[in-house]
Amino acid sequence: MSTHTEATLVFQDGVEHALTVESGQTVLEAALAAEAPILYQCTTGSCGSCLARLESGQADHRAGSTSSLLSAEREQGYRLLCVTEAQGNCRFSLAYDSAAGTGRPVEAQCFVNAVERVAGDVMRLELELAEGYWMDFRPGQFIQVKVPGTDVFRSYSMATTAADLPRIELLIRILPGGMMSDWLVNRASVDDVVDVSGPYGQFFLKEKVRAPHVMIAGGTGLAPMLSMIDALRVSPGRTPRILLSFGCQSPEGLFALDQLDLRAQWMPTLETRVSVDRGTPPEGIRVGNPVAAIGAGDGLTPDSVAYLCGPPGMIEAARKHLEELGLAPENIFAEQFVASN
């Protein structure tokens, strides 16, 4: 006889979905069976799209599973529902409203509009949705791009907003031996056809938040921040104060500085700090990491909202630092950039 538990999903707009989780079933599997509007993508614990916070009860990741969660996130009650099993009745909170998951990802074809190297290890890929295809997305989300000539997909955040469609801009780090990197550097050309799917992810701008925003980006983690900043610039009402801290490993790795300067001219509430880990940077660029560029004098409060995007080490350090500065953990949102094998 099958045994089951009850799990409740609580969305940010107060909507609740009660689930029956059968023995051996993950919470995500139960949510999909119940047609709950939940965001997900990989179902293997690696992408972070199905992140939720355990508010009560007992539930943990399935034995033997792997996940992209940091240890500090686990300690704070965060779980990836695709690898989470309930050990009794439990309750999870989700950091997005119930409308976010009602639109499902779509598959589409794009033409390459432009491909250019913008730094020593960064390429800008501009795509345009082919006629007859469309997708909507929230600032900060990502798409999967199929490497032409292969069955391999790679995930990249959009640097543009839905208002820029059918144009989509991606910032891609070039990795030695990388399949996407090899195509971009050696074979990609204008008018190539590329298969994409999306959007995915729950790392996106929380609308109508007027408290101060802090954004910390490492390398191509700048892409979703550009999308969010552009969305904030045209959103109705008062634009919140935005502090963007962007860092690269060396001066040769810097990119998009002219874009950041332009946005600062458009938005008096935007302050940008740029850092490099090492080397002799141009004037106005600090030496150090982007996390340390945020300090107690920046006036952040528990209501401030933070967006973090970059490598896992940066994310972990930034979470700890911002919590020490007084930010509430539930107001810190992160997207890890992990190199694909």
Tens of pLDDT, residues 32-51: 999 999 999 988 888 889 99
Domain 4-93 and domain 106-200 have a common topology: no
Band (pLDDT 50/70/90 cuts) for residue 218 is: very high
pLDDT at res. 337: 80
Amino acid identity of residue 265, one-letter, is Q
* CATH for the 213-336 domain, from 3.40.50.10440, 3.40.50.1370, 3.40.50.80, 3.40.50.410: 3.40.50.80
User: Cα separation of 334 and 323, whole Å?
Assistant: 13
* Residue 137 structure tokens: 């997305």
pLDDT in tens, 134-152: 999 999 999 999 999 999 9
pLDDT at res. 340: 63
pLDDT in tens, 220-233: 999 999 999 999 99
- Cis before residue 290, ω within 30 degrees of 0? no
- Name the CATH superfamily, with its identifier, for domain 4-93: Beta-grasp domain (3.10.20.30)
* Residue 201 structure tokens: 């992810």
Q: CB–CB of 300/214 below 8 Å?
A: yes
Closest to 60 in 3D by CA, of 46, 49, 72, 75: 75
Q: Taking the domains of the chain in order of start, what are their residue ranges?
A: 4-93, 106-200, 213-336
* Residue 11 structure tokens: 């969305």
Report in angstroms the alpha-carbon separations of 242 from 51, 222, 315, 329: 25, 14, 19, 18
Residues 106-200, CATH architecture? Beta Barrel (2.40)
Rounded to an integer, the average pLDDT of 156-171 is 97
Instruction: Mark 232-253 as b/e (b = at least 16 C-beta within 10 Å).
Output: beeeeeebbbbbbbbbbbebeb
